[in-house]
Chains A and B, each alone.
Chain A
Amino acid sequence: MQLKPKATQPKSENARRRLIAASCALLGATAARSQQTNAAPADSGLLEDWSVDTALAYYHEDGRIMAIEPLVSLAKVFADGQAVNLNATFDSLSGSSPNGALTSHVAQTFASPSGKAKHAYTTAPGELPVDPHYQDTRIAVGGNWTVPLTRLDEVSVGAKLSDEHDFFSATVNASIAHDFNEKNTTVSFGINNEYDSLSPIGGAPVPGSDYALFEKTGGKTKNGVGALIGVTQVMTRNWLSEFNISVDRFKGYLNDPYKITSIIDGAGNTTGYEYESRPDQRTRRSAYWENRVAWNRQASTALSLRYMSDDWGVRSETAQLHVRWSFSHRDRYIEPTLRWYRQTAADFYTPFILNTVNPGGGYESADARLGPFHALTYGVKYAQKLPGLGGRADSEFSVRVEYYQQTFDERMAAPAALAGLDLYPGLKAFLVQVGWRF
């Protein structure tokens, strides 16, 4: 092969080309970062180029459940713009779970869900009835794959599997997103399909049946479909806004198989219990609006508002604020959080059934999660950048604590004999989480 000397180009032409190349590189890098900043650097096939996000959470309710939950998430963007996310979660729960029955002035004895005599338990007078043998483990794995179709369109598909000893769930979702207005506006549409299989300990109770008769059948299922349409808009150089509308519909066995309702007489004595009975379908609609604003180099806020309603009569409002303060070198930040939540009760919610009346037209549940309450969460997170591993520039260690408190808003008139009992104990819980991202 004969090598020929390169033709010499004029100096001004060289400089012009270098400038164009530098501009293109700058714009390309900026655009890529704006679309996906959590991902590993593109154009690499090495495993160490995956970005790894890990967390370990400890959750503890006052006198009830405790849970330990490790999570890991892997993400990578490939050179052609495709992105993959894989994640896994493990939950270990134990402690005492409220069974729905009303606090009483006398001791109450309950059979375990399995019906085994050795697991029967007795609740002391004045105490909230809880099943003290609650124990569960859950493992969940999920994945998401995003493929660019054109420069402005991308599709994403995902799946999730979650398994517990008495519950299995499989979910698939797909979405499409389109950018326009110089990629300042993104419109997306997604659908979701969930299949759940329940195999409660001892079987699934016949809804509304007498607790003493132990009428239980085998496993049950429920299915849900959902759709979400969203708009993301770059408002200014420092302000990003997202607005979503979503609807979902679940059908099937929607009861909590371990929840019962106390039946009391006019004198306040508990005369029996029955298994809860919820409708076999539910449609929820929600609107969600999130705004992220960087006020300056140090301070930024994320404010989200959500309104939700369903055909069970539940209406809820949620407001959550994160305020992040990055220290001068942006190598660490502190982020206080405040969340306020309020919901109205489901139409068939009742903390007890008077034996002369069956409210709700046959449906009834004493599950406090369907009751009228408000909740506050206070939290703070601290994160610190650390030297990276392998070829990575850095890693991030974080610790987060949250305190959550539910308070009942409305109390149903109860027989005078129940005075002095805390029929609506609410809930207090805290969460501690450590995270490491590299």
Chain B
Amino acid sequence: MTSRQMRFLFILGGAAIASGCASLGVKPWQRDVLARQEMQLNGDPLDAAIDDHLYFSKEASSGGRTFAGGGCGCN
């Protein structure tokens, strides 16, 4: 995937979310599936913390999902 394709995807995604907010969504009694653990955005926080630390210390990028940085002298 090229940078241009990636940017296009982001613009498309952002536009879809921004324009469709009012018409999207569910009623409160329709949240059964969304309540499952696998549907939580940070449902496995320790897995994410370990991965973030690994990638932060081996790559030039960090953050995105949450703040960048890492509080580690490894980079």
Contacts and interface: CB of A to CB of B under 8 A. Distances in A.
A184 B24 contact: yes
Nearest to B1: A317
Contacts of B58: 369, 375, 404, 406, 427, 429
B28 A182 contact: yes
B61 A171 contact: no
A126 interface: no
B45 A73 contact: yes
B60 A286 contact: no
Given A232-B41, A315-B3, A400-B47, A286 B68 contact: yes
A181 B64 contact: no
A336 interface: no
A57 to B, nearest CB: 5
A236 interface: yes
Given A244-B65, A317-B1, A231 B18 contact: yes
A256 B61 CA distance: 15
Contacts of B55: 341
Nearest to A33: B35
B29 A306 contact: no
Interface centre among A169, A241, A289 (most CB of B within 10 A): A289
Contacts of B18: 231
Contacts of B17: 231, 233, 241, 243
B66 to A, nearest CB: 7
A369 B60 CA distance: 6
Interface in A209-250: 224, 226, 228, 231-238, 240-244, 246, 248, 250
A185 B25 contact: yes
B61 A234 contact: no
Interface in A289-333: 289-290, 292, 294, 300, 302, 304-308, 310, 312, 314-319, 324, 326, 333
A98 to B, nearest CB: 11
Interface in A17-39: 26-27, 30-31, 33-34, 37-38
Contacts of B45: 38, 53, 73
A319 B1 contact: yes
Contacts of A316: 59-61
Contact of B25 (A226, A233, A324): A233
Contacts of B22: 181
| A contacts with B: majority SS | strand
Interface in A46-66: 53-55, 57, 59
B48 to A, nearest CB: 11
Given A31-B28, A31-B31, A248 B59 contact: no
Given A71-B49, A226-B68, A30 B28 contact: yes
B6 to A, nearest CB: 5
Interface string A116-152: 0000000000000000000010101000000000000
Contacts of B66: 228
Contact of B14 (A69, A164, A243, A304): A243
A297 B35 CA distance: 13
Nearest to B30: A237
Given A55-B46, A226-B67, A290-B65, A240 B25 contact: no
Given A240-B41, A300-B38, A381-B47, A284 B68 contact: yes
Given A33-B31, A231-B18, A256-B75, A240 B39 contact: yes
Interface string A192-204: 1010101000000
A36 to B, nearest CB: 9
A435 B61 contact: no
A70 B41 CA distance: 23
B54 A433 contact: no
A317 B3 contact: yes
A301 B36 CA distance: 13
A433 B31 CA distance: 32
A284 B75 CA distance: 15
A381 B67 CA distance: 25
13 contacts: A27-B29, A30-B32, A38-B37, A161-B71, A226-B69, A232-B41, A233-B20, A236-B26, A237-B33, A287-B14, A317-B3, A404-B58, A431-B54
Given A162-B71, A288-B64, A431-B54, 7 more contacts: A69-B53, A161-B71, A170-B71, A185-B21, A231-B21, A343-B61, A431-B50
Interface of B: 1, 3, 6-7, 9-10, 13-14, 17-18, 20-22, 24-43, 45-47, 49-51, 53-55, 58-61, 63-69, 71-73, 75
